[in-house]
Amino acid sequence: MKRKIVRIDEELCTGCGLCVTPCAEGAIEIVDGKAKVLREELCDGAGVCLSICPVGALSIEEREAPPFDPEAAANLAAKRARGERVACFRCGADEEGAVVLLARHRGESTWVCTRCLPVLIHG
């Protein structure tokens, strides 16, 4: 099917890895020094990772790709859609008091607020 999905410009990519954490679905990995969308079915095309890239190597394009598979992905978005409380794993802030995003941390998909996200990315 044709759908929106992340495109990585390998000429621009420095392999810094900053885009790996913000991809909550775990679609992006660093391979041989370059970011790659290893499992296209995990990329929902939302583009959360785009603004993280310091060299502008990430963009969204429309092309042939396997359909997004929410079951294979973290499926955390379904929790929010069901109206369940989501909270930042670091500080515990929920959506009543903060903007809470999906992110990757130590290989797991989790929730993080925008105050704690820079710590995940920059340490």
CB of 115 to ligand SF4, least distance (A): 21
Does 16 participate in binding ligand SF4 (rule CB under 6 A)? yes
Record the tokens describing residue 118, joined without a space: 């820079």
Q: How far is the CB of 106 from ligand SF4 (least distance, A)?
A: 18
55 scored as a contact of ligand SF4 (CB under 6 A): yes
Task: Give the integer Cα–Cα distance in Å for 25 and 21.
Answer: 9
Residue from 57, 73, 88, 102 in contact with ligand SF4 (CB under 6 A): 57
Backbone angles phi, psi at 59, to 5 degrees: -150, 170
Among 5, 23, 43, 53, binds ligand SF4 (CB under 6 A): 53
Quickly count helices (H) and strands (E) in the chain. 2, 6
